[in-house]
Amino acid sequence: MKYKEKLIEISLKFCASITIFTTIGIIAVLLFESISFFREVSIFEFLTDTQWTPLFTEKHFGILALVSGTFLTAAIAIAVALPIGLSIAIYLNMYAPKSFRKTLKPFLEILAAIPTVVYGFFALTIVTPFLQTIYPDLETFNSLSAGVVMGIMIIPFISSLSEDALYAVPKSLKLAAFGMGSTRFQTAFKVMVPAASSGIIVSVILAISRAIGETMIVAIAAGQQPQFTLDPTVPVQTITSYIVQVSSGDAPQGSLEYKTIFAAGLTLFLFTFTLNSISFWIKKKYQEKYE
Amino acid sequence: MNNFRKNKLIDHGFKIMGMLFTFLGILILIILIYNIVRVGYTRINWTFLTSLPSRKPESAGIYTAIIGTLDLMLLTVLFAIPVGVGAGIYLEEYAKKSRLSSLLEINISNLAGVPSIIYGLLGLGIFVRFFNFGGSILSGSLTLSLLILPIIIVATREAIKAVPHSLKEASFALGASKWQTIKDVVLPSSFGGILTGIILSLSRAIGETAPLIVVGAMAYVPFVPQSIFDTFSVLPMQIFNWTTRPQQGFAIAASGAIIVLLLITFIMNGIAVYFRNRWQKKLQ
Amino acid sequence: MAKETAITMTKIKEKNSDSEKIKDTSSKDGAKIVIKDVKVWYDDFMAIKGIDMNIKPNTVTAFIGPSGCGKSTFLRLFNRMNDYVDGFKMEGKIKLNGTNIYKDKINVEELRKEVGMVFQKPNPFPKSIFENVAYGLKIQGIKDKKILNERVEKALKQADLWTEVKDDLKKSALALSGGQQQRLCIARTLAVEPSILLMDEPTSALDPISTSKIEDLIFELKEKYTIIIVTHNMQQASRISDYTAFFYLGELIEFNKTKAIFTNPEKKQTENYITGRFG
């Protein structure tokens, strides 16, 4: 009978260890193909060339073109989500009655639950035409629409996590500020936000990480033209969108084109891993403050 | 005006702005859904649901996409639930506080933040190529299982943590073994929380497109998959495919498919919230 | 030769094939307990500083003393519930009917079928009344419905709860009142037919009427079981126990017949505690 207990424990341990195998698998797959890729393309070219044309006859392998697309859309997304998300968090924490908070929060969570392909459709068929009425020179595929819609999608990330951070600030600080005659606005921005800054920063970093890794919205609405640019009105291509493009196509296994998606994937993984690690480190370091 | 009045005005102004922004999110949600429903509503009928995709927008249907989604979810459930719940039980009940268990926790937390397309690359490298499963339902479901594993593990752990220690003590004091206690006391009590986590993770999996494209889900699958080694298509992929076509007819078809997908997603989330509330009340 | 067994939580070994069972003295009598030079540490903190004690079968022994003096820790040695606490370490011998329960070969689950425990706050499972009482039997593998019904009824009668619940055993245990829940927990423990009953402040969370019902119950149960009860309530100790042990800061200060402890204590500390000068 005791063997049964031990057997059960071992099976459960195996289940838990699958998570480790997953991480090892990700690193192994990305490295394996990337190393093979870098035998044919120099890392120097990869990091400094500003053109990315692996699928054309004249091939360039500058990841910067994709990176710029990724960061441009992410930046627009954060520009939208941060002010809105943070304002919502402050409003719910400091102004809104408790019942508001309870009923509204689930609705905001819904924004995060909508499949991203639906957001992509929305960006292409509704947002872009709408923006084109304001600015007729906006191209059909552009990073602005994609960025704005991505921003909408990540509002709950920032609002939810920031609100939790504000909630964790000891009430005594809030009361002290009110006691000195501050308005809620002043208390919010001079006392609460600075006190919750580590949590808010963590929420922003995680939102950036989410935006960088987003695929479908940009694949549908941002275009398939890798360009090293900061112009939000022209088509670009993100790392994620490129991977989708090649995967939908016919690149044979083992070909250079095939390997490019792993090199691009590795770059993406390094970015998000770094961001996630930074946010984890910040959370850990500043969590002790109020314990 | 003096300082005091100015501050009061700013305060009031911000309150209005905050309210607007909060409702802005909901407003956009409503606009989004309204527009899609308006366009796609006419398209939904029995033919739509039971037709195969076609090159002509008028006759295109989502039948294979729905079957594919169902098959994929069934298989994903088969892999992800035992492994995810098992891992959650191990971490919460067996693993002692050590370097190894901290490592496991950090790793899981990291995996939750990895972009879904990277999981696609993982699936491509390991399941499609290395194990030679090809761009099949098997590869797709294994990939999705790994993707949603962290969600299930965290939900399981939280649910187990909520079971009062006194119940476990009572069980041990009666001579029950560790596994008996988990099986007969801990799991029944944490069932609601675990179920909620499973439903939420599946609701996420249903909407995933990118990793499946990388693994090899096809956009155009004019047949119903017969075995787990067949190629397949899923609803979000079908939507993606139609969205990228220029013909207006396909945009309408895409709207119709989106309505179906959103309905499924919202219903699943609703069920999950319902179970979570019921379970939380039970704990009181 | 008396060997000192030092056991840490991580080294508890259970080998089913050669596990020793606690010897039954006779078919339904309480067991005799011998405690020799027992010491307990939680990491570096010494919670029990060397205690010797003999507990006679079919008696009620009360453990009294101020909070934090180690009575609960000491009680939990008898069914090895301390094993689950991080940093627990124990030295010395505890013999139930001659068997040392801290020897490596002991099967802890078997031990707990002989030594039952009732906790301070009633902790029935969120299951039906029947399932609660039958739990201990089912985990032993008893499946026969007839046997389960009989044992459940017997246990509920022994715990003086049968008449109140017999009409609806499928009702949830959580629907019972606090006092009823505690009697249910007692029934649950009795169903397994142990020879020793450990009770850790069983009535401190209950109202006076439920308390007196349970005290009557303990008096009845003494005929068949050896009972050890930890209590903060000195009137309770003097009412229901045959022997009393007074603990202070991890040491056994005095152990004697209850009447002697309460009318003529030998140690000044005992007298001070009993008369309420401290604690």
Other C-beta atoms closer than 10 Å to the C-beta of A186 total 18
CB contact under 8 A, B117 and A244: yes
Q: Residue B261 class from Cβ within 10 Å (0-12 exposed, 13-18 middle, 19+ buried)? A: buried
More confident site: B62 or B156: B156
Q: What average pLDDT does chain B have?
A: 88
Q: Verify that B30 and B103 share a domain, yes or no.
A: no
CB-CB neighbors (< 8 A) of C113 in chain B: 174-175
pLDDT tens, position by position, C60-89: 999 999 988 889 999 999 999 998 888 899
User: CA A17, A23, A26, A29 torsion: positive or negative?
Assistant: negative
Residues 6+ apart with CB under 8 A from C235: none
Reduce the secondary structure of A14-39 to three states and give it as a string.
Answer: HHHHHHHHHHHHHHHHHHHHHHHHHH
Q: Verify that B160 and B224 share a domain, yes or no.
A: yes
Query: Hey, what are A197's tokens?
Result: 């800054």
Q: How far does the CA of residue A273 sit from the closest CA of chain B (Å)?
A: 7
CB-CB neighbors (< 8 A) of C16 in chain A: 1-2
CB contact under 8 A, B185 and C125: yes
CB contact under 8 A, C109 and B175: yes
**Residue from B7, B8, B22 to probe the interface with A (highest A Cβ count within 10 Å):** B22
**Residue from A5, A9, A12 to probe the interface with B (highest B Cβ count within 10 Å):** A12
Look at residue C7 in the predicted model and tell me its pLDDT. 34
CA A244 to chain centre: 17
pLDDT tens, position by position, C213-244: 999 999 889 888 999 999 988 889 999 999 99
Look at residue A80 in the predicted model and tell me its pLDDT. 94
Task: Tell me which long-range contacts A245-251 makes (C-beta under 8 A, separation of at least 24).
Answer: A245/A219, A246/A55, A247/B120, A247/B124, A247/B213, A247/B214, A247/B216, A248/B213, A248/B219, A249/A55
Encode C100-137: b = buried (16+ Cβ within 10 Å), e = exposed.
Answer: bbbbeebbbbbbbbbbbbbbbbbbbbbbbbbbbbbbbb
Q: How far does the CA of residue C16 sit from the closest CA of chain A (Å)?
A: 6
Q: Which of B10, B83, B214 sits opposite A243 (nearest CB)?
A: B214
Distance CA C141, CA C191 (A): 14
Residue C123 pLDDT > 90: yes
What is the DSSP secondary structure assignment for residue A179, as one 8-state letter?
H
CB-CB neighbors (< 8 A) of B65 in chain A: none
pLDDT tens, position by position, A61-107: 989 999 999 999 999 999 999 999 999 999 888 888 888 888 887 78
Q: Does B283 touch chain C (CB under 8 A)?
A: no
Q: How far does the CA of residue B141 sit from the closest CA of chain A (Å)?
A: 14
CB-CB neighbors (< 8 A) of A20 in chain B: 104, 107
C74: CATH: 3.40.50.300
The fourth-level CATH superfamily of domain A64-290 is: MetI-like (1.10.3720.10)
B50 phi, psi to nearest 5 deg: -110, 5
**Residue from C22, C76, C120, C135 to probe the interface with B (highest B Cβ count within 10 Å):** C135
Other C-beta atoms closer than 10 Å to the C-beta of B97 total 8
Residue A274 pLDDT > 90: yes
Distance CA A274, CA A280 (A): 10
pLDDT band at B14 (very low <50, low <70, confident <90, very high): confident
Provide the pairing of β-strand C243-248 with C251-257. Answer: antiparallel
pLDDT tens, position by position, C164-216: 999 999 999 999 999 999 999 999 999 999 999 999 999 998 999 999 999 99
Distance CA C126, CA C129 (A): 9
Beta-sheet strand order (sheet of C226-230): C115-118, C196-200, C226-230, C60-64, C243-248, C251-257
Q: Does C85 touch chain B (CB under 8 A)?
A: no
pLDDT tens, position by position, B31-70: 888 888 888 877 777 777 777 777 777 777 888 888 889 9
Do residues C71 and C120 make contact, with C-beta atoms less than 8 angstroms apart? Answer: no
Look at residue C1 in the predicted model and tell me its pLDDT. 32
Q: Which chains touch A (3 or more CB pairs under 8 A)?
A: B, C
pLDDT band at A290 (very low <50, low <70, confident <90, very high): low
Q: What average pLDDT does chain A have?
A: 90
Q: Does B188 touch chain C (CB under 8 A)?
A: yes
SS3 call for C37: strand
Percent of chain A with pLDDT over 70: 98
CB contact under 8 A, A183 and B11: yes
Query: Hey, what are B272's tokens?
Result: 């999950």
Distance CA B139, CA B71 (A): 12
Q: Which of A15, A28, A88 sits opposite B21 (nearest CB)?
A: A88
Helix or strand run (H / E) with residue C54: strand C45-55
Distance CA C26, CA C33 (A): 15
Is C256 inside any structural domain? yes
Residues 107-136, chain A: which have Cβ within 8 Å of B? Answer: 107-108, 110-111, 113-118, 120-122, 124-126
CB-CB neighbors (< 8 A) of C188 in chain B: 170, 174
Torsion, Cα B68 B70 B75 B80, to 10 degrees, reads 120
CB contact under 8 A, B172 and C185: no
CB-CB neighbors (< 8 A) of A156 in chain B: 25
* Residue keyed to tokens 């992800």: B80
Q: If you average pLDDT over residues C268-275, what whole number do you get?
A: 87
Look at residue C156 in the predicted model and tell me its pLDDT. 94
Distance CA B76, CA C15 (A): 39
Longest dimension (CA), chain B: 77
CB contact under 8 A, A213 and B219: no
Q: Verify that B208 and B73 share a domain, yes or no.
A: yes
CB contact under 8 A, A1 and C16: yes
CB contact under 8 A, B118 and A26: yes
Residue C39 pLDDT > 50: yes
Look at residue B99 in the predicted model and tell me its pLDDT. 85
Look at residue A235 in the predicted model and tell me its pLDDT. 93
pLDDT band at C3 (very low <50, low <70, confident <90, very high): very low
Q: Chain A: residue nearest C108 by CA?
A: A2
| Complex ipTM value | 0.91
> What is the domain count for chain C?
1
What is the DSSP secondary structure assignment for residue B52, as one 8-state letter?
P
Provide the pairing of β-strand C45-55 with C196-200. Answer: unpaired
Q: Verify that B38 and B149 share a domain, yes or no.
A: no
Distance CA C75, CA C48 (A): 11
Q: If you average pLDDT over residues C148-158, what whole number do you get?
A: 94
Look at residue A131 in the predicted model and tell me its pLDDT. 92
Rg, chain C, Cα only: 19
Residues 141-200, chain A: which have Cβ within 8 Å of B? Answer: 152, 155-156, 159, 183-186, 188
Closest alpha carbon to C28 in C174, C140, C190: C190
Distance CA A173, CA A169 (A): 7
B56 phi, psi to nearest 5 deg: -100, 125
Q: If you average pLDDT over residues A128-155, what whole number do you get?
A: 92
Please give the residue range of the domain that contains residue B121.
47-283
pLDDT band at C11 (very low <50, low <70, confident <90, very high): very low
Q: If you average pLDDT over residues A184-204, what whole number do you get?
A: 88
Q: Verify that B207 and B74 share a domain, yes or no.
A: yes
Look at residue B64 in the predicted model and tell me its pLDDT. 85
Residue ranges of chain C whose CB lies within 8 Å of a chain A CB: 14-16
Q: Verify that B66 and B35 share a domain, yes or no.
A: no
pLDDT band at C279 (very low <50, low <70, confident <90, very high): low
Look at residue B220 in the predicted model and tell me its pLDDT. 66
* Pairs of residues, one from chain A and one from chain B, whose beta carbons lie less than 8 Å apart: 252
Closest alpha carbon to A8 in B90, B92, C266: B90
Look at residue B139 in the predicted model and tell me its pLDDT. 92
pLDDT band at A256 (very low <50, low <70, confident <90, very high): confident
SS3 call for C262: helix
Look at residue B284 in the predicted model and tell me its pLDDT. 64
Torsion, Cα A127 A128 A129 A131, to 10 degrees, reads 80
C33 phi, psi to nearest 5 deg: -120, 130
Percent of chain A with pLDDT over 90: 54
Residue C16 pLDDT > 60: no
Residue C136 one-letter amino acid: G
Look at residue C99 in the predicted model and tell me its pLDDT. 87
pLDDT band at A289 (very low <50, low <70, confident <90, very high): low
CB contact under 8 A, C125 and B166: no
Q: Which of A16, A261, A268 sits opposite B91 (nearest CB)?
A: A16
CB contact under 8 A, C110 and B175: yes
pLDDT band at C17 (very low <50, low <70, confident <90, very high): very low
Q: Which of B96, B170, B177 sits opposite C119 (nearest CB)?
A: B170
Residues 6+ apart with CB under 8 A from C207: C178, C179
Q: If you average pLDDT over residues C25-30, what whole number do you get?
A: 50
> What is the domain count for chain B?
2
